[in-house]
Each structure stands twice: as structure tokens, then as C-alpha cells.
Amino acid sequence: MQSRWIAACLSVALLCLPAVSMAQARGGRGATPRPPSAPTPRWPDGHPLLSAPPGQIGYWDSGTGSLTGKNGNNLPTNMETSEVPFQPWAKALYEERQRTQSKNDPHARCAAPGGPRQFHTPFGLLIYELPEAKRVLILSGGGVRTWRVVYMDRRTHPQGDALNPGFLGHSVGHWEGDTLVIDTIGFNEKFWFVRAGFPHTEALHLTERISRPDFNTLKYEATVDDPRAYTRSWSGGWLINWHPGEDFEEYFCTDNNRDAEHLVGR
């Protein structure tokens, strides 16, 4: 009888706990309900400001998200991994990377995260628009020399030998309403463009669409067009949360870092 009385008291006490406390007990900071968001901050000409407003600081928490799947912050329009239109060799390589638990992921050994990988690398992300220079800078907290230039001056991509394939490619951008559209070519094959290990080749052509539907949310979408690795183009994306009043932490990736403790697939 006494045990039943104690159990009943505990049940009432749990029901009386604040919702935030319950969420924290289940999952910590990430599970805490987000407060209502302020409106999207904007430049004087009306298009969205993708960084902190004047006099404020903050960064985008880019440690989550994927081009496939519908869980978490992923977009509900994402396809499942089983639906990705791999070329046979690309599917075999992807499956091998999964089988070996991503032990050969170049990012774990300090390679720069190109393409969508830049938007789901831990330690945060900043996006700065420089109107006078007609450029947008995308900076990652969790990478080696990971600052990317998006040219907004209507230039075209270099052609032929002038296009030197790199980790971040050559990016040109423009605004379509409230969406920043970035067109990038010129990638090398020395990195994984998503954490999941989907293969790509130097033929990769990436179109990214970035918007800020409210103050606390960045919407990232990417269309992958690589005819050497996939039978057709495909798209996916996710939402990224804003961390107000904080700067991302200082981070350096040691040359050829091999984290024996966490590279469990070694």
C-alpha cells in the first residue's frame, strides 16, 4: 500500500514539472523547445541578412542535417538514401564507406569540407555579405582554412585550364527574392561532400539555395548534378538553428590528425 502511495506521489510530481525541464531530462539542450522567433532581419533594400544584425553576435549551429532522410532538421521533401540515383560504382563505394564506418573520411584528417559538408560540419557557421566587395563569405568554425568566397558581381566560372579544381570549388551567386542562390563547379575529389560519404567526381555541379525564413532558422537546400556519379540530378536539405549572443569556439585541425579514440572503423 505504501509503495503505491509513493508511486502516485511521484507521478503527480513529474506531471507538475515545467515542460522545459522535462525536455532537458530527455535530451539536453537540443531537445529544449525553441522560443518563438523574431522576424527575419533584412538589409535596407529588403533582402534577408544572413548574419547577426548590427550590434549583435551569433552563429549558425551547422552540426546536424543531411541531404537524405526526413528525421530531425532534415526537410520533409528529402528522399531516402535508398532512393539516391547512384551510378553502380558510386553505390558500391558508398556502401564500402558505410561498411568500414567512414574510417577513410578525409575530413577526419583535416581536409576542408566542400559543398554541403560545409553546412553540417560541427562548431558552427557564419555567413557575411560584403556589398561593397560584391562577395559573400561563408566561414566554418570546424575546418582547416574553411572560408569560402561567393562572387556576387555576375562573373562567370573560369573555363578550361583556368579552372583549378579545389576543395571548395568556384562559386558565383545571386539573389532570387529572399533566397541566395549559389552555383559552384571546380571541385576536386579529395573530400566527401556530405558526412554520409556519397561519392562525387570533378564533374560535380552544385546549386545551393539559402534562405532565412525567420530570425532563428536558416534553410539550406542543394541540388547535386554529377553525371559521372549519379544517373540524374537530385536534391535535399535541412534547417539550421541560430545561436544568439554567442561566437563559435576557436578550433584548429592538426595536420594529418588521426583521432584513434573516435575513428572506430580503423
Q: Is residue 64 part of a domain?
A: yes
**What is the span of the domain harbouring residue 10?**
2-30
Which has more pLDDT, 249 or 13?
A: 249
Query: Both 11 and 110 in a single domain?
Result: no
Identify whether 181 is part of a domain.
yes
Residues 98 and 180 in one domain: yes
Q: What is the DSSP string of the chain?
A: -HHHHHHHHHHHHHHHS-HHHHHHHHHGGGGSPPPPPPPPPB-TTSSBP-SPPTT--EEEE-S---SS-SSTTB-TTPPPGGGS-B-HHHHHHHHHHHHTTTTT-GGGGT----GGGGGS-TT-EEEEEETTTTEEEEEESSSSS-EEEEE-S-PPPP-GGG---BSS-EEEEEEETTEEEEEEE-B-SSS-SSTT-----TT-EEEEEEEEEETTEEEEEEEEE-TTTBSS-EEEEEEEEEEET--PPP----TT---TTT-TT-
Q: Does the pLDDT value for residue 73 go beyond 60?
A: yes
For the chain, what is the domain count?
2
How much is the pTM?
A: 0.83
Percent of the chain predicted with pLDDT > 70: 81
pLDDT score at 6:
34
pLDDT score, position 264: 56
Domain co-membership, 150 together with 221: yes
132 located within any domain: yes
> Could you report the per-residue pLDDT of 134-155, keeping only the tens digit for each?
999 999 887 776 889 999 999 9
- Whether 6 maps to a domain, the answer reads yes
Q: 35 lies in a domain? A: no
Co-location of 71 and 26 in the same domain: no
Residues 14 and 131 in one domain: no
Domain co-membership, 87 together with 201 = yes
Residues 115, 76: one domain?
A: yes
149 shares a domain with 24: no
Residue 29 confidence (pLDDT) above 60: no
- Does residue 44 fall inside a structural domain? no
Does 51 map to a domain? Answer: no
User: At 265, is the pLDDT very low, low, confident or very high (cuts 50, 70, 90)?
Assistant: low
Residue 264 within a domain: no
The tens digit of pLDDT for each residue in 208-235 reads 999 999 999 999 999 999 999 999 999 9
Same domain, 118 and 179: yes
pLDDT at residue 30, as a whole number: 40
The answer to whether residues 146 and 21 belong to one domain is: no
Q: Say what the pLDDT of residue 4 is.
A: 40
Residues 227 and 113 in one domain: yes
Pair (128, 78) in one structural domain: yes
Average pLDDT over residues 111-136: 93
